């Protein structure tokens, strides 16, 4: 594997933050969670930022935050809504290998016990299933590698990511 960043994208509660932290520890790389960068930039929890800005401005603010990232040899966990911005995704593609952390809707809805307090970029009248169906093709489109977490432990999924990346990147300079 080369030393570009590893960037995790996917639905809320799919495991980006959990896996990112573990993967960074394994590789002895730094870990960056863009949700924490948002909170640090705005000085408030995500839900408050989301409520204050409204949906469109929140997505725009997240995209701007992403475009400030210029890093090397980090594992980066992104927020679930980053795929709504072409500019942010183009920037991330230039920053490293993008991995789609995929989980079935059934597992996501089981894991998301607090959907109304974690700052979801969900529109009025939209259900969690609508959000899932709208985003799944976007995550798949931007990812170099897709890894499914259903029925796996975080450690097993970390291994699937490192193995998958070593296969997909072995021909790169």
Ligand X SMILES: Nc1ncnc2c1ncn2[C@@H]1O[C@H](COP(=O)(O)OP(=O)(O)O)[C@@H](O)[C@H]1O
Ligand Y SMILES: O=C(O)C1=C[C@@H](OP(=O)(O)O)[C@@H](O)[C@H](O)C1
Residues that bind ligand X (CB under 6 A): 10, 12-19, 77, 111, 149, 152-154, 157
Q: Residue 96 binds what, of ligand X, Mg ion, ligand Y, none (CB under 5 to 8 Å, by partner type)?
A: none
**3-state helix, strand and coil shares in percent for the chain, rounded to the nearest 5:** 55, 15, 35
- List 5, 8, 17, 165, residue binding ligand Y (CB under 6 A): 17
Q: Residue 65 binds what, of ligand X, ligand Y, Mg ion, none (CB under 5 to 8 Å, by partner type)?
A: none
The answer to whether 23 and 75 have CB atoms below 8 angstroms apart is: yes
Q: Residue 95 binds what, of Mg ion, ligand X, ligand Y, none (CB under 5 to 8 Å, by partner type)?
A: none
Pick the closer one to ligand X by CB: 47 or 170: 47
By CB under 6 A, residue 97 contacts ligand Y: no
Contacts of 36 (CB under 8 A, 6+ apart): none
The answer to whether 80 and 8 have CB atoms below 8 angstroms apart is: no
How many other C-beta atoms lie within 10 A of the C-beta of residue 83? 26
Distance between CA atoms of 145 and 163, rounded to whole angstroms? 10
**Residue 16 labelled as part of a binding site:** yes
- Contact residues toward ligand Y (CB under 6 A) are 12, 16-17, 35, 46, 50, 79-81, 118-121
């Amino acid at each position: 594997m080369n030393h570009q960043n590893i960037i995790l994208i996917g639905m809320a509660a799919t495991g980006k933050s959990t896996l990112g932290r573990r993967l960074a520890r394994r590789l002895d790389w730094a870990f960056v969670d863009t949700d924490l960068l948002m909170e640090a930039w705005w000085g408030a929890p995500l839900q408050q930022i989301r409520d204050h800005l409204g949906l469109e401005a929140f997505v725009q603010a997240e995209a701007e935050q992403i475009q400030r990232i210029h890093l090397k040899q980090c594992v980066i966990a992104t927020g679930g809504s980053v795929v709504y911005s072409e500019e942010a995704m183009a920037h991330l593609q230039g920053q490293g290998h993008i991995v789609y952390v995929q989980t079935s809707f059934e597992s996501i809805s089981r894991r998301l016990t607090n959907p109304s307090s974690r700052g979801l970029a969900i529109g009025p009248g939209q259900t969690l299933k609508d959000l899932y169906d709208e985003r799944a093709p976007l995550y798949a489109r931007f990812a170099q590698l897709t890894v499914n977490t259903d029925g796996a432990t975080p450690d097993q999924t970390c291994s699937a990511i490192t193995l998958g990346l070593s296969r997909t990147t072995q021909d790169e300079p």
